[in-house]
Amino acid sequence: MIAVPRVVLVGHDASATGAPLTALAFARWAAASGAAHVEVLLDRGGPLVAGFEAVAPTHVRARAAGEVVAAADALGGLSAGRWARRGALLTARPPTGADVTVVAASVAAWRSAAAVARGGRRLVLWLHELDGVADRVVPASERAILLEATSRIVAVEARVAAMATERWGVAEDRVSVVGSFVDPLGDGAAAGQATAHPPHDVVGVGSLVPRKGADHLVALTALFRQRGRDLRSAWVGGPLDGPYADLVRTDRAAAGLEDVLDLVGPVDDVGPWWPASGVVVHLAREDPAPLVVIEAGLRAIPVVTWDTGGAADLLRTAGLGHLVADAGDLVAVADAVEALLDDGAGRAEAGAALRAAATARTTDRLAPALLQAFTGGRG
């Protein structure tokens, strides 16, 4: 009889953002396939909690304990945060047994996962971040301690792995790459089925935070207006009440674009906002594993991006390097978008190429390799 591996996924929260969404897709696959027994420990809750609970035993740290840990972390004291975290974990009923693989499902969950793995359990860092986020969440001094306790790093993109080996100094044989993935499209969500309201020519999707670069969409739309082309654009994602949203709105007002650029805010389903006959732009300042590009690709919607993360790598894999501009090169992005908008056949061709590449990035194709990387073959 072959033992089913036990995996404890430790997540920083259950928000509908990249790392938690991928963790949920993995947990769902593990439950459906029976390939692994997965338990989930979350530092904080969020809209995906119900999804996790439906497929795996899920524990969310008590709110008060989470606040104490957050305050301890905010004070910047490594030992304070560590002790607070150990105490807080008692409230989350960590699993027992030495045979489990503990997976930090993001850098933000690394400290908590290390606390769970104490006592000789295998600790794996599932690395979704690049330098800007990773360095901010776990400073270098603390990272060295956590790396000592970590058996393996599984990176979601090659350039994330390069960060670990080249800038963190982790030996190459301790790092592997399994690409980020999304669930395959359900019925009715195929290419050209989107029903955006109103139809937008250019759409950006992601949290409304500086790193995702919604301000670049405003600048792009303004540049098109300056060129005499009034296209409609939209940014799908929130929050709309944060300080960055204020800056984006300020830019939009300064350029007089309120009538053509929609700030949609957070949505449960991006589906209606995909531009059926338009282009998705991905203008993040740093984004290692852009699930949104895979999602667009599965719908055969072309994406224009610049070279700041996994989106560029995916487009190049698809043979679409001409849709990758240098970082910050707004004019080159505008030229690429304009060419696609003006050429229906070229747009369809690019969409088809991206769909071919994105099809290889679905849960059913990559989750088995991910499980293998997590457990190192341990049953």
Partner 1 sequence: MTATRPVVWAVVRDLGRTGVPIALARLATWPATSEAVDLHLIARHDGPLRTELERAGIGVTALEPADGRSRAATVAAGASHLGRTDAGAAVLGAAWRRRIRNLPAPDTVLVQGAGAWPVAEALRAEAAPRIVVHLHELEVAVRRSIGPSSLPSLAAADQVLAVSEPVASLARSLGVPDDRLSIVGGTVDLVSSAARGRTDVVSVGEAGWRKGTDRAVAAAHVLRRREPTLRWHWIGRALEPGWAFAVDAPLPILHHAPVADPWSVVHEPAALVVPSREDPLPLVALEAAARSVPVIACRGAGGLDGLLAEGRGWLVDPTDPGDLAATVAEVVAARPTAGPEALRDHVERHHTLEAVGPRWLHALTGGT
- 75 contacts partner 1 (rule: CB under 8 A): yes
Closest C-alpha to 281, from 312, 246, 243, 259? 312
Closest C-alpha to 83, from 98, 68, 93? 68
- 255 contacts partner 1 (rule: CB under 8 A): yes
- 67 contacts partner 1 (rule: CB under 8 A): yes
SS3 state at 184: coil
Least Å distance, CB 106 to partner 1, is 16
- 247 contacts partner 1 (rule: CB under 8 A): yes
Closest C-alpha to 310, from 125, 130, 108, 104? 130
- 242 contacts partner 1 (rule: CB under 8 A): no
In sequence order, the 6+-apart residues with CB closer than 8 A to the CB of 50 are: none
Least Å distance, CB 132 to partner 1, is 6
Distances (CA, A) of 31 to 21, 90, 123, 201, 371: 15, 26, 21, 39, 12
- 157 contacts partner 1 (rule: CB under 8 A): no
Closest C-alpha to 124, from 183, 83, 170? 170
Distances (CA, A) of 60 to 11, 14, 39: 9, 9, 11
Site size toward partner 1 (CB under 8 A) is 46
130 within 8 A of 312, measured Cβ to Cβ:
no
Question: At 250, which amino acid appears?
Answer: T
Question: At 296, which amino acid appears?
Answer: A
- 65 contacts partner 1 (rule: CB under 8 A): no
- 159 contacts partner 1 (rule: CB under 8 A): yes
Site for partner 1 in 204-223 (CB under 8 A): 209-211, 215-216, 219, 222-223
**The CA-based dihedral angle spanning residues 12, 13, 19, 20, taken in that order and rounded to the nearest 10 degrees:** 140
- 45 contacts partner 1 (rule: CB under 8 A): no
- 50 contacts partner 1 (rule: CB under 8 A): no
- 169 contacts partner 1 (rule: CB under 8 A): no
- 140 contacts partner 1 (rule: CB under 8 A): no
Out of 172, 258, 326, 342, point to the residue binding partner 1 (CB under 8 A): 326
User: Which residues does residue 282 pair with via DSSP β-bridges, in sequence order?
Assistant: 305
- 228 contacts partner 1 (rule: CB under 8 A): no
Q: Considering beta carbons, is residue 329 or 349 the nearer one to partner 1?
A: 329
Least Å distance, CB 345 to partner 1, is 28
- 240 contacts partner 1 (rule: CB under 8 A): no
Q: Which region, judged by CB under 8 A, interacts with partner 1, from 180-188, 292-300, 320-328, 353-361?
A: 320-328
Site for partner 1 in 105-124 (CB under 8 A): none
CA distance 206 to 196: 17
Site for partner 1 in 345-364 (CB under 8 A): none
User: Which residues does residue 55 pair with via DSSP β-bridges, in sequence order?
Assistant: none
Residue 144 φ/ψ, nearest 5 degrees: -60, -40
Footprint of partner 1 (CB under 8 A): 67-68, 70-72, 74-76, 130-132, 135-136, 159, 162, 167, 209-211, 215-216, 219, 222-223, 225-226, 243, 246-247, 250-251, 254-255, 285-286, 306-309, 326-332
